[in-house]
Chains A and B, each alone.
Chain A
Amino acid sequence: MGEDTPLELPFLYLDTLWLQVTGTVCNIACLHCFITCGPKNHTHTMMSTSSVEEALDTGVSEGMRHVWFTGGEPFLHPDILQLIDMALDRGALGILTNGMLIDDALAAQLGERFRTAKYNFEIRVSLDGATLEENDNVRGRGVFDKACEGIRLLAAHGLEPILAVTTLDDSQVTQERFAALLRSLGVTRPRVKWIPPFRIGREERRGRGYEAWETLTAHDLKEPEAALKLQCGTSRTVTSQGVFPCPILINEPGRLMGGTLADTLDSNRVDHQACHTCWVEGFSCST
């Protein structure tokens, strides 16, 4: 026991299906991006509509409740509205976005779906500072204004987005500052999702890497609710390359679990140092 017990987390059931619809392709290249996305990163390419549909159908037969689209930047996908409709036909959908590509026409389409879809539809826009300087230092020049405009348009069309904030600087991340920003953009019910930094990918260079002690132990996993506490106990992530335990580890060697969702609904290893962040923060990529 102890040292050589494999750090395996049992798989309970598929509650949440993550789809890396645009892979690692993004219109910007944030300094803290833990999967190092950018305009030229084609490690994970965009998913075809048929592969998205196949994963969604497996999800339905496995009883999934929630679907999340991420990337990269999902709104770069040429068929994004079709993908959204496919997902919303089968479960509640959330989309993680940097908000920069949302213009008035797209916001109107999204707002319409929020009102009329069978299931819940959330958009989560990332911002890492409540001011232009704080945000654009990390996410790049011009990003703050464009993201804020995206938020304003979504709210104007009745789809109030959730703000996703990575807690890079504890002194600047207070609920009040971000709630005030959201209110100034027309959001009447401000919601903020805090994301701890994962010290891999570009963030390892911007901030720091993991230290040796930052790892899970077999003792941690003896907690009765461990498989509920870690999101990989109830979710999987599909990219153009195959299936991974979560959106965080898609570039980490040896983390590809299989080719199709149906093959991967079994226990997974939680011996990556990023797993320590999930554990101590009680973090889940979904809400």
Chain B
Amino acid sequence: MQHVIDPTPYKKVALFGGTYNNWSALEHTVADALRRGAEAIWFLGDAGGFGPLPNRTVDLLRSLPVRSIQGNYDDSVGNSKEDCACGYTDPRDNHFAQISYDYTLANTSTDHRTWLAALPAQARIQVGAHRVLLCHGSPRQVNEFLWESTTPLGFVEWLCKTEKTDLIACTHTGIHWERRLEDGRGIINVGAIGRPANDGTQNVWYAMLEDAGDRVRSTFIPVAYDVTQMSDDMRREGLPEEFIETLNTGWWTTCLEVLPGRERMRGQH
């Protein structure tokens, strides 16, 4: 699989994941990142699923100043696979995942599917003197779930060493967090902008990385978007009320079984 290398030593880079067809959140996120002076903006994959009108999101990803890497969803849609390969094991999770997937696949243009299929799997960039590896789930498995409570320090150190990098940025789980070693190396999960972070607010989150000399400083930034517009679009497209509820309440209602106990108990369902 193709990997991108960009040796430019950026000072400020914005990273976001999981648009899940939420075109309004995508517009607001990119506008916010540009306003804050991001020199590069990367999308870490999973354009589709969950939300309405998939072509709008891919149109935006292709026209805005954003570079993209491929998520499991993009690989599946791009190559017309049977399912999203999200990695769910529970029947109810898979039921809802299949509704999203069939809808997204059926409503993504051929041209956009070709674009999704050709996205690179990983990218290596520089923030100041620091090496940053961008991936979707993890560098070793596109749909590996890296949750905060199941990503121990020993693993962080092993992965940075194995991948010869200072920082690894990923998404796929939909909840943002980071874990750093004392020397500043670490893993940052940038979260997703397609749906709230199961925290009871309507915000979605992205991450800004900045060169701070001896380490990379990271900030998680909340973004507000047009929830009413998105809910209306979803209803018109016949998508499940459970999904609309999540956008409005900020609590996940589906795809809950993959959450570790710690993260699950923080949510409402």
Which residues of A pack against B, CB within 8 Å? 12-13, 59-66, 90-92, 114, 118-122, 158-160, 162, 175, 189, 191, 228, 287
Given contacts A189-B256, A287-B89, contact A120 B154 (CB under 8 A): no
Given contacts A119-B149, A119-B152, contact A63 B262 (CB under 8 A): no
Q: Which residues of A contact B154 (CB under 8 A)?
A: 59-61, 63-64, 90-91
Asked whether, in the complex, the Cβ of B265 is within 8 Å of the Cβ of A13, the reply is no
Q: Which residues of B contact A287 (CB under 8 A)?
A: 89
Q: Which residues of A contact B238 (CB under 8 A)?
A: none
Q: Which residues of B contact A64 (CB under 8 A)?
A: 152, 154-155
Q: Which residues of B contact A160 (CB under 8 A)?
A: 261, 265
Interface residue? B226 (CB, 8 A): no
18 cross-chain CB contacts under 8 A = A59-B154, A61-B154, A65-B155, A66-B150, A92-B149, A92-B260, A114-B262, A119-B150, A120-B149, A120-B262, A120-B263, A121-B261, A122-B260, A122-B261, A160-B261, A175-B91, A189-B256, A189-B265
Given contacts A13-B140, A63-B162, A65-B155, contact A92 B150 (CB under 8 A): yes
List the B residue with the shortest CB-CB distance to A228. Answer: B141
B253: shortest Cβ distance to chain A, in Å? 12
Instruction: Decide if the interface of chain B is mainly helix, strand, loop or mixed.
Output: helix
Given contacts A65-B150, A120-B149, A189-B265, contact A91 B260 (CB under 8 A): no
Chain B contact-residue range equals: 20 to 34
Which residues of B pack against A, CB within 8 Å? 89, 91-92, 140-141, 147, 149-152, 154-155, 157-159, 162, 256-257, 260-265, 269
Within 8 Å by CB of B155, from A12, A63, A114, A118, lies: A63
Within 8 Å by CB of A63, from B149, B158, B260, lies: B158
Within 8 Å by CB of B260, from A61, A120, A159, lies: A120
Q: Which residues of A contact B141 (CB under 8 A)?
A: 228
Q: Which residues of A contact B157 (CB under 8 A)?
A: 63
Asked whether, in the complex, the Cβ of A120 is within 8 Å of the Cβ of B265, the reply is no
Asked whether, in the complex, the Cβ of A63 is within 8 Å of the Cβ of B264, the reply is no
List the A residue with the shortest CB-CB distance to B262. Answer: A120
Expressed in whole angstroms, the Cα–Cα distance for A62 and B140 within the complex equals: 14
Asked whether, in the complex, the Cβ of B159 is within 8 Å of the Cβ of A120, the reply is no
List the B residue with the shortest CB-CB distance to A161. Answer: B261
Within 8 Å by CB of B257, from A59, A114, A158, A191, lies: A191
Asked whether, in the complex, the Cβ of B265 is within 8 Å of the Cβ of A121, the reply is no
Expressed in whole angstroms, the Cα–Cα distance for A250 and B148 within the complex equals: 32
B1: shortest Cβ distance to chain A, in Å? 12
Expressed in whole angstroms, the Cα–Cα distance for A161 and B129 within the complex equals: 45
Expressed in whole angstroms, the Cα–Cα distance for A63 and B158 within the complex equals: 5
Q: Which residues of A contact B269 (CB under 8 A)?
A: 189
B62: shortest Cβ distance to chain A, in Å? 29
Expressed in whole angstroms, the Cα–Cα distance for A228 and B72 within the complex equals: 15
Expressed in whole angstroms, the Cα–Cα distance for A119 and B260 within the complex equals: 10
A60: shortest Cβ distance to chain B, in Å? 4
Instruction: Among A12, A92, A114, A160, find the residue whose CB has the most chain B CB atoms closer than 10 A.
Output: A92
Q: Which residues of B contact A66 (CB under 8 A)?
A: 150
